[in-house]
Structure 1
C-alpha cells in the first residue's frame, strides 16, 4: 500500500498568515505616524508659545469692535501713507520701505484680521470688509487723512474698494504689482493653472502647520527672504502659524466676492495714481506671467486722469519689497505720489 509523500513545512502555512503580518506592519506604521503627528503638534505648540514671547508686536493693538488689529505707524507729516500687504504677507514685509518713507511723511503698516499679530474677526475676508475694518482701525487709532493708499498684490483690490467707500479720505494711490479683478479670466491658461495650484496648496497649509511641518521645513520662509534680519524672522514665525495660513486661504476663497466689489467701484477722478509693475519673474516658470500682468496694469492707469505707469525692470513680485535696493525704488515711487499730493493740496489752497 503506497503512502503519499511527506508534506513540506511551507505547505502547512495558512494563507491568512502573510495577510496578518501585513496588517500588523500597517498597524505599527499607523501607530508610528500617529506618534509623529503628536510630537509635531507638541513641537508646534511649544514653539508658538516661545514665538509669542520673543516676537511681540512692533506697533500697537487697536480695538476695532470685538477684536484688535495690529497697527504700526512711524514718521510725521501729511499725507499719511497706508501700506496694504498682499496675500500671506504681514506688516513686516514693509521693513525696507516703511523707514524710507517715514523720513518724509507719516506711514502706517498693519495686519488684517487673523494675520500675524492681529486677532481674528467674525467678518468675511473680502475687499469690502477689509476696507471697512481698515477704516475703523485708522479712526480708532486717531490717524486722519488725507491718505495715500499703497496696495501690493491682493492689497491692490482692497485699497481700490477703500477709496471708493471713503473718497473724502484718500488723496493718492499706488498700485504695486497689484491684482487685477479680471486676471483669472484674462491671464494665459498656464498661468491660471499655476494660480489654481497655489490655492490648493494653501488649502493644505494650515494642516501642515499644525503638525509642525511648515516650521520644520521652512517651506513658506521664502516670502521674507532678503528682508532685514528681524523682519525675516517675523515672517518665518508667522509663515508657520496655522491661524495666519487659515486667514490667507480665507482671503483667497473670497476672491470672487472681492473682485465683484472692485468691478462695482467708480473711477478715481483726477486723484494722483501710480501703477507700478515688476519687470522680472520670481522664477523662470513664471516668465510668461510678466507681459500678461503688465498689460493689465497699464489698463489700471486709466482709473485716474492723472494716472501714471512705471516698471521696475530688475524687480520681481516679491523683491519689490524684500530686496533692499529694489525696495528703495518702491519707496521712491510712493514718495513721488506723496509729493504730487502735497503740490496739489498747496495749489488748491492757494487758488481763490
Structure 2
C-alpha cells in the first residue's frame, strides 16, 4: 500500500534543492470540486480508509445539516401534538382524536433519525422501501384531503402532519440517492474506482436499516388501510342532526323521536320528553334500542338521545373536557334543536354523573330522574386512575394502525355500524380520546361538578333508582353507594334491586319490566 503525507509537498529541483510544489499549483478558490483531501501526489487510498467518505463533499455535508434541521422541526411539532392530546393549545384543536397526527409525526421523526444514523451508508433497500413508503403516504394524503369527514376531523393539524410526512419520505429518497452519488465520487477519486464490496460493519448497517424500513413500510400500509375504513365509516348517515356547540368548536349529534316539543306545549297536560344519557358505551348500541321499544309500545310519547363528544357521530371536544362541559354542550344542542322539555332524565352507569349535573343546571325543567345501576361519585377515582389513563393513551397511540379494526372487518365481518356505534366502537381513536379526556379530569373537575350538583339539586324532584342485583351482591361498597344515591333528592319514589340482573339491567326480562313500570309511573306523575 502506498502511503503519503499531507501538508507542504516538496520535491528536488535540477540544482538539487527543494522545489516548492505550491509554486506550480497556486491555491484556487474553494468550490464544490474542492476536496478536503487533495489527491496529490498521484497515490490512492485503501477503500477501507476513513478518509474515503462522502462527507468530503460540501453538498453532502449541507444535506446532512438540512436533515438535522428537519429532525429538529419535526421533534418540536411532535411535542406540540403530544401536549395537545392532553391540553388543546389555541388553534390546534382537532375534532378527531389527534392520534393520527401524532402517529404521522412520530413516523416522520423515526424516519429522519434512521436516515441520519445511516446517512453515510446508502443502499438499494433504503431507496426501494422509501419509494413504497412514499407511495402509501401519498395515498394517505389524498384520502385525508379528499374525504370531507376525515378532512374536517383532522383539521389543519392533521393535514399538515400527513403532508409533512409525505414530503420527508420523498426527501429521504433524494437524500439516499445524493449520498450514494457522493460516495461513488469520492471512492473513484481517492481509490481509483467505485467500490463494489462492503465491509462487515456496512452490511450490518444495511441489515438494520432494512429491518426498520420494512417496519415503517408496514406501518404506512396499515395507516392507509385504516384511513380507507374511516372513509367507509364516514358514509354512515346519522339519525337526527349535528349541532355546533361551545363557540362552534365542534359538533354533537342529537336525535329526537316522537311528537315534537311544540306539539306537546300546545296540550293542556304537557307530557314530558325522555332525555337519555348513555353509560359506558354508545347510547345507540346499549340503551336506545330498549327505549325505542318502549316508544313503539306507546309507553312514552317522545324521547331524545345524544352522543357525548367522541362517541357515535359527535366530534371530539377540546381538552380538558369534564362532565359539566358535556352537560353544557347538551343544553346548547337542545336549545339549537328547539327542544324545551320538561324532561325525565334516564341514565345508566357513568351516565348518571352527566345526568345529575344536567339536572342541577335545569332545575325547573326536570320532572323526574331515573337512574339505572348508577355510578357513584366515589368511583370517579377509579375512572381517573393514572394506570387507566396511561393504558388509554397507549391504546390511542397504536389506534391509527387499526389492527383490531382491520382484523374485525376481515375475519369477523364487522360493519361500519359496529365501528361507529356498535360492538367495535372502543377500537376507534375518537372514543379512546373521549375516555382519556374523561379519565384526566374525573377526580378533579368532574368530581367537583357532581358534588356541586348534589348540593343544588331540587329536593322535590321525583327519583327512581334501579340497581343490579349481581353488582349489589358482589360488592358491599357498591350496594352502599346505590343506597346513598337514593338520597340525592327527598322525593324517592322507588329503589329496585333486580335479582340476577347485570350492570346493564335492561338486558334481562325482569330488568326491562321493572324499568318500564317505573318509567310509566314517572311519565304519568304517580
Same topology, TM > 0.5: yes
Match of 1:348 in 2: none
* Cα drift, residue 258 of structure 1: 0.6
Q: Is 1:73 equivalent to 2:256 in the alignment?
A: yes
Match of 1:91 in 2: 284
Which stretch shows the higher mean deviation, 107-116 or 194-203? Answer: 194-203
Contact 2:256–2:303 (8 Å) recurs in 1: yes
- Alpha-carbon distance between aligned partners in 1 of 2:217 and 2:202, rounded to the nearest angstrom: 22
Match of 1:58 in 2: 239
Which stretch shows the higher mean deviation, 333-342 or 80-89? Answer: 333-342
Q: Is 1:302 equivalent to 2:483 in the alignment?
A: no
TM-aligned CA distance change 1:96 to 1:331, over 3 Å: farther
Which stretch shows the higher mean deviation, 43-52 or 91-100? Answer: 91-100
Match of 2:305 in 1: 109
Deviations 1:194-239 (A, max 9, x none): 96544332222222221112313559xxxxx9xxx96687324533
Q: Is 1:148 equivalent to 2:344 in the alignment?
A: yes
Higher relative contact order (CA 8 A, sep 6+): 1
Contact 1:176–1:277 (8 Å) recurs in 2: yes
TM-aligned CA distance change 1:164 to 1:68, over 3 Å: same
Which stretch shows the higher mean deviation, 236-245 or 250-259? Answer: 236-245
Alignment of 1:292-331 (within 5 A): 292-307=477-492, 308-317=494-503, 319-320=504-505, 323=507, 325-326=508-509, 329-330=511-512
TM-aligned CA distance change 1:271 to 1:264, over 3 Å: same
- Alpha-carbon distance between aligned partners in 2 of 1:194 and 1:127, rounded to the nearest angstrom: 13
Contact 1:272–1:341 (8 Å) recurs in 2: no
TM-score of the pair, normalised by structure 2:
0.52
Alignment of 1:1-352 (within 5 A): 24-53=206-235, 55-64=236-245, 65-66=247-248, 67-76=250-259, 78-102=271-295, 103-105=298-300, 106-122=302-318, 124-184=320-380, 192=382, 197-218=387-408, 234-236=421-423, 238-256=425-443, 257-265=445-453, 266=455, 267-280=457-470, 290-307=475-492, 308-317=494-503, 319-320=504-505, 323=507, 325-326=508-509, 329-330=511-512, 332-333=514-515, 336-343=518-525
Which stretch shows the higher mean deviation, 138-147 or 237-246? Answer: 237-246
Deviations 1:62-91 (A, max 9, x none): 333513321122234721111111245343
Q: Which runs of 5+ in 1 are unaligned?
A: 1-16, 186-191, 220-224, 282-286, 345-352
TM-aligned CA distance change 1:27 to 1:310, over 3 Å: farther
- Alpha-carbon distance between aligned partners in 1 of 2:418 and 2:383, rounded to the nearest angstrom: 31
Aligned residues: 304
- Alpha-carbon distance between aligned partners in 1 of 2:366 and 2:520, rounded to the nearest angstrom: 12
Contact 2:498–2:511 (8 Å) recurs in 1: yes
Larger Rg: 2
- Alpha-carbon distance between aligned partners in 2 of 1:94 and 1:184, rounded to the nearest angstrom: 22
- Alpha-carbon distance between aligned partners in 1 of 2:226 and 2:505, rounded to the nearest angstrom: 31
Contact 1:174–1:334 (8 Å) recurs in 2: no
TM-aligned CA distance change 1:47 to 1:118, over 3 Å: same
- Alpha-carbon distance between aligned partners in 1 of 2:513 and 2:257, rounded to the nearest angstrom: 14
- Alpha-carbon distance between aligned partners in 1 of 2:221 and 2:480, rounded to the nearest angstrom: 49
